[in-house]
Structure formats: C-alpha cells, structure tokens
Structure 1
Amino acid sequence: MNEKFSFKKLIQLYEEIISVNHRTEIARELRDEDDLFLFLCLSETLGLPNPAYYYTLELYPYMLEKFHEWHLRMGMDKSPLTGFRCC
C-alpha cells in the first residue's frame, strides 16, 4: 500500500514538473479551443452555415455565461448578436 502511494505521488510530482514551464501555453491553447468551439456553435447566428446547428441548440444556455468574455476577447465592445443581450 505504501509503495502505491509513493508511486502515485511520484507521478503527480513528475506531471507538475513537466507542466510548470508550459502552464501559460496550455491555458492559452485551452482558451483558443473554447473560443473556436463557441464560434462554431454560434456561427449560424453570425450568418455562417453550420451543419451541426440542430445539435448545438441545446448548448446555448451553457454558452451564455461565457459569451460576454468571448466577444470582449474577440475585440467586440457590444454583443454582435441581437438575440443574445449580455452587455
């Protein structure tokens, strides 16, 4: 039991050491992926065809919370969508 605990701790320490220098890069990549996903889900409302529009409709309530941060990060002072009022 003690060997497994020390091995788990060693693995966690190794992962932390590896990711220390790349935390900002990892955070930026995750933010970029979130931005792309949000853009793809909202592309139909922006006027771009989205083949998965029907399947992404149920995600809108969850995306409303992040939408304000997203459009500010994209350089838009106000919401580009008439249906989403966040500002």
Structure 2
Amino acid sequence: MSEQRSLFSRFVEGLNEFYHAPYRQTLARAARDEEDLFMLLLFSESLGIDNPASFYTLELQPIFLEKFHEWHLRMGMPRCPLQHGGCC
C-alpha cells in the first residue's frame, strides 16, 4: 500500500513540475519586479522622493538594508545613493 502511495505521490510531483515549469521564470520575474517597487517605496525618502507612507516604511528600513545593496546595483546605480550611510 505504501509503495502505491509513493508511486502516486511521485506521479503528482511530476505533474506539478510539468505544469508549473513553463511559468516559473515569469513568476520569478513578477516577484522581482514587485520587490523592486517595494524597495523603491521603502527607500524613496532617503533617495529624495516624497513618500506619503514614510511614517510606516521608516521602521522597515533596517530590516531591508541588507538587500538594498543588491537592489541599487540591479537598478543601475554603481554607488550607494544614500547620504546618511552607504553599503558600498
């Protein structure tokens, strides 16, 4: 009985892989774009862009500061644009 369940579970995993594989890159790109927008919203005050939600995003900045370096390089900024402290 357990051998049949194992065979069935491997079959279901294979079907999931077959149906999800073509969309994996598209979903990853959409998630990256969403994260880029969030990082822009999070650090917009520090970059000189007015942010109406800065009161709420200010406490999240220390948490996401580690990811900021990767983000500003991906956005095409070779040097850290923050004046109060840099990551580079």
TM-score, normalised with respect to structure 2: 0.79
Cα-Cα RMSD: 2.3
TM-score, normalised with respect to structure 1: 0.80
Q: CA deviation at 1:25?
A: 1.3
Choose 1 or 2 for highest CA Rg: 2
Alignment length (residue pairs):
86
Q: CA deviation at 1:18?
A: 2.1
Other-structure match for 2:81:
80
Seq. identity, %: 50
Other-structure match for 2:49:
48
Q: Which amino acid aligns with 2:19?
A: I
For residues 13 and 84 of structure 1, the distance between their equivalents in structure 2, rounded to whole angstroms, comes to: 48
Q: CA deviation at 1:16?
A: 2.7
Q: CA deviation at 1:84?
A: 3.4
- 1:37-56 per-residue CA deviation (whole Å, 9 max, x = no partner) reads 00011111111111110111
For residues 63 and 33 of structure 1, the distance between their equivalents in structure 2, rounded to whole angstroms, comes to: 14
Q: Which amino acid aligns with 2:23?
A: H
Q: Which amino acid aligns with 2:80?
A: S
Other-structure match for 1:38:
39
For residues 16 and 83 of structure 2, the distance between their equivalents in structure 1, rounded to whole angstroms, comes to: 45
Q: Which amino acid aligns with 1:37?
A: F
